[in-house]
Amino acid sequence: MPTLDTPPRVTITVRGRFALRAEDGRDLTPPYRKERAILALLATTPERRLSRAWIQSMLWSEKPPEKASANLRRALANLRDSLADAKGVIGANRLEIWLEDAVEVDTRPDLAGTAELLELVDAPDPAFDEWLRDLRAADEAAFDKTSGNAPKGQHTAEFETAQAAVSGASPLELGPSLTPQGNTIIVIRPLERGTGNEAYFLEMMLIDTLSARLEAEGADEIYAAVEPDPARLQQAAAVIYLELTSVVDSGWWNVHLRALADVDRRFLWSGRLRVPMDVSRLADGADIQAFASRALSQILLRFRSVRLTAQSPLIAMQRAASRLYVSDLAELNKAEDELVNLSSGEGAAVALAWRAFARLARSMEFAANDSGVAAEAESLAAEALALRPANPLVCALGARIALDLNGDLERADHLARAALRSDDGNPYALQASSRVALLQGDVEAAHHAATEARRAAEGLPHVFAWDMEVCLTALGKGDLNTALSAAKAAHQNNPSQRAALRYLVALRLLVGDRDGAEQAAQLLRRYEPQFEFSQLRQSDYPMLTLRNSGFADQLVV
């Protein structure tokens, strides 16, 4: 925070008329609603820091993830342009957005009870509208609690309590007393039984897919088409209701799914699926898996805005796992700390498996190649498998540890097959199967599995990992154009991922686009300042598939 020697360059006023002012009094309030809403979300969050995905879920909740991400990037660019004269207002990385230390947030406690929070702030999105109503209601309740006669400073403390009540703070940010406890209960309800055998069969297939994916992610209590004991609901750390309606009409299967939170049934998310009644396409199951990926990703993300993450281990684990796919050592450290707190109780096996994967990420991304890292990862993976030997996510991550960290292809093959036996449509299981097949030399099977995995992963926040799998298997086949397209997609879905940038450089060189390769290299040098084309041919540079496929020797560097 600013000190007495370094006064804030700007102040954000959140009670009464929302305003952003420079220290000389100039009004810097953004003219556009979404940009004002971003600042309001950050200013009313205790840590003044939020994930990109959470902001997207609040301001573009009805848009597909890729469009929401593009809209957020555009809004941030607009903000930076409008605040060009006020340096150091907002910061961002691949995962999060925050207010810089030079920004002061003025809560105007003297106006509590007479002025509403965030006047003139609105955004055309139902998720933001609900969040704003909740924030104002919590603020009014905090004022009523003090009866308007609290000592000076008391209303500021109550406002901070209201902030915490509607924010997505992590367990670490909230302190050890709020370590996640208790189970998350998932209730999947078909509201109206579809008429006819086809509708009923498809409905049950969707319910089973959702149940299997939730169980794989660590949910221990799932009630599919049955109701739990009401007393059990009262004891749960969190409750998520998934209510679906489906109908077959005019050759199409139409599904509406909505998610509600807790016993008071607060709205979380809704989505639709429409699939032609084509037997081979329905049997393939990719449309249902992709819908499940999108639904579960958005539901678990949105839940963090409704309830403190610390109150549900399942939700906390999603946040931690998402950090593992960011090429940032600080984020990796946070994820490992969070996962340690989740390694008992609900989803313990999945938390242990993610901890093992974190060891793999540390080794591959940050050159932590000592034997201790591999041994620890192997031990964590073995412990996870002992707890949940049939969990497809646990098996798939175990296969990655065996293959990428220990070089045990036989063990990896066994675990990848076990993952597919548990759920042959799970994107993690398919990804592990693809990786194993590629190293076994069966490039056709590897590419087929990678393509199916990418389809099933559509909607996941780290879908770029599956884009890269398609890139690697296409390269193994010698299909440079498909490999290049997949590397481009991976880069678009995660601009800071170094693996995508490395392969963009190599593939551009292989297709004769040296200018494009140099542009990709410039981006890569943000993360690897000493990078040169010649490194692509070095045996210790992390591009194993490029070397195994023989293309490294063809590079003109």
Contact 221, 183 (CB under 8 A): yes
Give domain limits for the chain. Answer: 10-169, 184-307, 339-462, 472-557
Contact 467, 451 (CB under 8 A): no
Q: What are the two backbone dihedrals, phi and then psi, of residue 41, each rounded to the nearest 5 degrees? A: -60, -45
3-class SS of residue 308: coil
This model's pTM is above 0.85: no
Dihedral, CA atoms, 456, 459, 460, 462, nearest 10 degrees? 110
Question: What's the CATH number for 339-462?
Answer: 1.25.40.10
Residue numbers in the chain where pLDDT is lower than 70: 1-8, 85-87, 109-114, 142-182, 193-196, 305-311, 367-371
For residue 208, the model assigns a pLDDT of 93
Strands (E), 277-353: none
Question: What's the CATH number for 184-307?
Answer: 3.40.50
Domains 339-462 and 472-557 are alike in CATH topology: yes
Cα–Cα distances (Å) from 72 to 37, 39, 52, 67, 179, in that order, read: 11, 12, 8, 9, 31
The structure tokens listed for 393 are: 């996510």
Question: What's the CATH number for 472-557?
Answer: 1.25.40
**How would you classify residue 410: left for phi > 0, otherwise alpha for psi between -120 and 50, otherwise beta?**
alpha
Long-range contacts formed by 62-69: CB under 8 A, 24+ apart: 62/125, 62/126, 64/294, 64/459, 65/294, 65/297, 65/459, 65/461, 65/463, 66/492, 66/493, 69/493
**How would you classify residue 30: left for phi > 0, otherwise alpha for psi between -120 and 50, otherwise beta?**
beta
